[in-house]
């Protein structure tokens, strides 16, 4: 009877052990799109719990790994330890919400996840402030609401892409320290403001090796480029915004060779001056307006680019021409946001006043004793 019970216990252990053990094999090696060397392709990796992260094993000895069509909400140090040789990691449709960047990674791409937070290898064993090996970081199609805090520890980074996230405001100081950066893309977010940063005495913005910058497909109305030191910038993409002018102009971009700026709301007087500059500097325009856009939007066309004419020569009287209805709508949205903000400030002020009254009352009673 005891031997039967022992056998039963061993079978139970084997069943539980095999159920908890997770192992994933590489699909037949092949050169994947965008990869220079054969990559281990892991399809359908599903690790929803901490226990799964602890128990999983991989057969890969590849330096490049691509994971597709799975579920890893927290790509943590537990997984990084099990991929010790990986220098090039791609995560495609993996439902990642939190993602660790470890120091030996050289290329990291995460497409179409639910990424909200980056974590960094600064814990025990890592030296805070020391450099990472990463040269390219692509975090496209996520839920990021702020630029990740990279800074000078990522001084080797050459490519940074944060396309198709939820960014609404960007401070250029977030990129200072990325001294080797050559390509920066913030396309297809919700950007309404690009500013220098919190410091009131911020003199300018300098990325001297930057070759390509994209702010395409956002909601920018204007862009102040005064103080931008981008001496190597060759390609600039501003297409698909609501821009009506660029404060500071393009004069400071002496290396500019290509410009994309269609599908905006340019002011015609400003645009005509800029187009003279573009012609004199032989800067190529590499995009076009959608067919019929100018006529359908009651806009004028200057060298293939749509713009709005103001009613009078003094454009301080009417800069936006026929756009007043749309601007009035934007103004109403702004006023609603401002009203909500003001109400919150009032509530906070009233709370402070109430606390002050309580404190003064207690102080008065103490003085009377």
User: What pLDDT, in 10s, does the model give residues 30-82?
Assistant: 555 555 667 899 999 999 999 999 999 998 788 999 999 999 999 999 999 99
Whether residue 245 contacts residue 266, with contact meaning beta carbons closer than 8 Å, is answered with yes
Tokens of 120: 């960094």
SS3 305: strand
- Which residues partner with 97 through β-bridges? none
Whether residue 191 contacts residue 167, with contact meaning beta carbons closer than 8 Å, is answered with yes
Whether residue 276 contacts residue 255, with contact meaning beta carbons closer than 8 Å, is answered with no
Residue linked to tokens 């330890």: 81
Which residue would you say has higher pLDDT here, 189 or 248?
189
Domain ranges for the chain, please list them.
Answer: 23-123+130-311, 312-363
Which range in 23-27, 129-133, 325-329 is most confidently predicted, on average pLDDT?
23-27
CATH class of 23-123+130-311: alpha beta
SS3 27: strand
Whether residue 285 contacts residue 221, with contact meaning beta carbons closer than 8 Å, is answered with no
Q: Which helix (H) or strand (E) holds 45?
A: none
Query: What average pLDDT is seen over the chain?
Result: 83
Number of Cβ atoms within 10 Å of the Cβ of 109: 18
User: What pLDDT, in 10s, does the model give residues 102-161?
Assistant: 999 999 999 999 999 999 997 655 555 579 999 999 999 999 999 999 999 999 999 999
């Amino acid at each position: 009877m005891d031997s039967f019970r022992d056998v039963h216990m061993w079978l139970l252990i084997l069943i539980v052990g095999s159920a908890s053990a997770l192992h994933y094999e590489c699909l037949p090696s092949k050169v994947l799109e965008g990869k220079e060397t054969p990559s281990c392709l892991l399809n359908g990796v599903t690790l929803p719990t901490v226990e799964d992260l602890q128990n999983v094993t991989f057969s890969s000895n590849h330096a490049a790994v691509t994971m597709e069509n799975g579920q890893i909400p927290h790509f943590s140090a537990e997984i990084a330890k099990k991929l010790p040789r990986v220098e090039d990691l791609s995560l495609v449709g993996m439902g990642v919400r939190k993602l660790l960047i470890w120091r030996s990674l050289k290329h990291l791409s995460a497409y179409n996840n639910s990424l909200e937070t980056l974590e960094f290898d600064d814990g025990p064993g890592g030296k805070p402030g020391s450099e990472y090996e990463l040269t390219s970081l692509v975090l496209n199609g996520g839920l990021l609401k702020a630029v990740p805090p990279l800074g000078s520890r990522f001084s080797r980074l050459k490519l940074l892409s944060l396309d198709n996230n939820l960014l609404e405001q960007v401070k250029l100081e977030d990129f200072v320290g990325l001294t080797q950066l050559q390509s920066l893309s913030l396309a297809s977010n919700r950007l309404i403001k690009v500013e220098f940063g919190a410091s009131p005495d911020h003199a300018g913005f300098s990325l001297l090796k930057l070759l390509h910058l994209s702010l395409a497909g956002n909601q920018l109305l204007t862009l102040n480029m005064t103080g931008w030191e981008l001496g190597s910038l060759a390609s600039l993409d501003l297409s698909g915004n609501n821009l009506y002018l660029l404060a500071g102009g393009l004069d400071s971009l002496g290396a500019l060779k290509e410009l994309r700026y269609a599908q905006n709301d340019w002011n015609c007087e400003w645009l005509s001056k800029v187009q003279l500059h573009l012609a004199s500097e032989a800067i190529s325009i590499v995009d076009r307006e959608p067919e019929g856009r100018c006529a359908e939007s009651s806009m004028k066309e200057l060298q293939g680019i749509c713009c709005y004419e103001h009613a009078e020569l003094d454009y301080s009287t009417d800069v936006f021409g026929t756009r007043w209805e749309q601007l009035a709508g934007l103004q109403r949205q702004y006023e609603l946001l401002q009203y909500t903000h003001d109400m919150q400030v009032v509530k906070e002020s009233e709370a402070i006043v109430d606390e002050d009254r309580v404190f003064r009352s207690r102080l008065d009673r103490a003085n009377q004793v």
